[in-house]
């Protein structure tokens, strides 16, 4: 199976802007990119091995020290909100929630993210941080989205990514039908308002106003 690699923008910018030949600067940048996981001596070793090419040195370090990250696994469990092809009005905010499982034998380390990778861009957020997740554990991940203004079918693909830019596990999707008659996003908003209303009604100081009054 071919492993997809996507070094994040911060790494790419670091590589592109490092034109210095100062070895101490390169070592410090190497340690910064890898969050000081290696020692300065290791940084110097990998940079020398890569002829002081920062990108090659970082890649060599990750290939040798983090092969277990390649074995991380994720399985899609179910859609919690917004099932496949559900109808949403144009220009409506909604929350997409997936339930996923760590289906492997390794705990997902700190720094894993759920990333938008393909399809229609429905959210300002391009990634969601995911904390450590133990093997066999289910978690729910949510992304705030907005339906496009033009009716039609839209789909957005998301994938889990480890701290070093390697994707793993199932692809997960949000697929919506934007329709002027859609009610799903509105239903979510009303459910949220109802929840807030009932919580507030338990407060003796709450004044029962009509939430639809202008």
- In the three-class reduction of DSSP (H, G, I as helix; E, B as strand; rest coil), residue 173 is classed as strand
CA 28 – CA 31 distance, rounded (Å): 5
DSSP sequence for 92-150: -EEEEEEEEE--SSSPBPTTEEEEEEEE----S-SEEEE--B-TT-EEEEEEEEE--SS
Residue 166 confidence (pLDDT): 84
Q: What is the pLDDT of residue 38?
A: 72
What is the token pair recorded at 104?
């492997």
What is the number of other CB atoms lying within 10 angstroms of the CB of residue 54? 21
Residues 84 and 173: beta-carbon distance below 8 Å: yes
The span from the CA of 107 to the CA of 29, in Å, is 28
Taking Cα atoms as reference points, which of 53, 1, 64 lies closest to residue 30?
A: 53
Q: Taking the model in full, what pTM does it have?
A: 0.60
Closest by CA position to 128, among listed 112, 139, 117, 110 = 112
Local confidence pLDDT in tens for the 214 residues of the chain: 333 444 444 554 554 444 556 888 888 888 877 765 678 888 888 889 888 888 888 778 777 766 544 589 999 999 999 988 899 999 999 999 999 999 999 899 888 999 999 999 999 999 999 989 999 999 999 999 999 999 999 999 999 998 878 899 999 999 999 999 877 655 555 555 544 545 555 554 444 444 444 4
* DSSP 3-state of 200: helix
Q: Which pLDDT value is given to residue 54?
A: 83
Neighbours of 23 (CB within 10 A): 13
């Amino acid at each position: 199976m071919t492993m997809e690699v996507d070094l994040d923008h911060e790494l790419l910018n670091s590589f592109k802007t490092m034109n210095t030949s100062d070895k101490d600067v390169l070592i410090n940048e190497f340690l910064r990119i890898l969050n000081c996981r290696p020692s300065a001596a290791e940084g110097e070793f990998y940079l020398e091995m890569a002829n002081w090419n920062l990108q090659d040195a970082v890649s060599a370090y990750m290939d040798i020290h983090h092969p277990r990250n390649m074995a991380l696994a994720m399985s899609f469990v179910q859609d919690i909100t917004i099932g496949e092809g559900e109808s949403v009005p144009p220009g409506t905010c909604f929350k997409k929630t997936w339930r996923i499982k760590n289906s492997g034998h390794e705990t997902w380390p700190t720094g894993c993210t759920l990333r938008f990778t393909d399809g229609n861009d429905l959210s300002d957020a391009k990634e969601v941080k995911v904390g450590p997740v133990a093997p066999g554990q289910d978690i729910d991940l949510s992304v705030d989205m907005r339906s496009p203004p033009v009716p039609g079918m839209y789909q957005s693909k998301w994938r889990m990514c480890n701290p070093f830019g390697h994707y793993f596990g199932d692809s997960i999707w949000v697929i919506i039908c934007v329709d002027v008659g859609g009610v799903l996003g509105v239903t979510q908003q009303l459910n949220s308002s109802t929840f807030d209303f009932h919580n507030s009604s338990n407060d003796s100081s709450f004044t029962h106003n009509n939430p639809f009054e202008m």
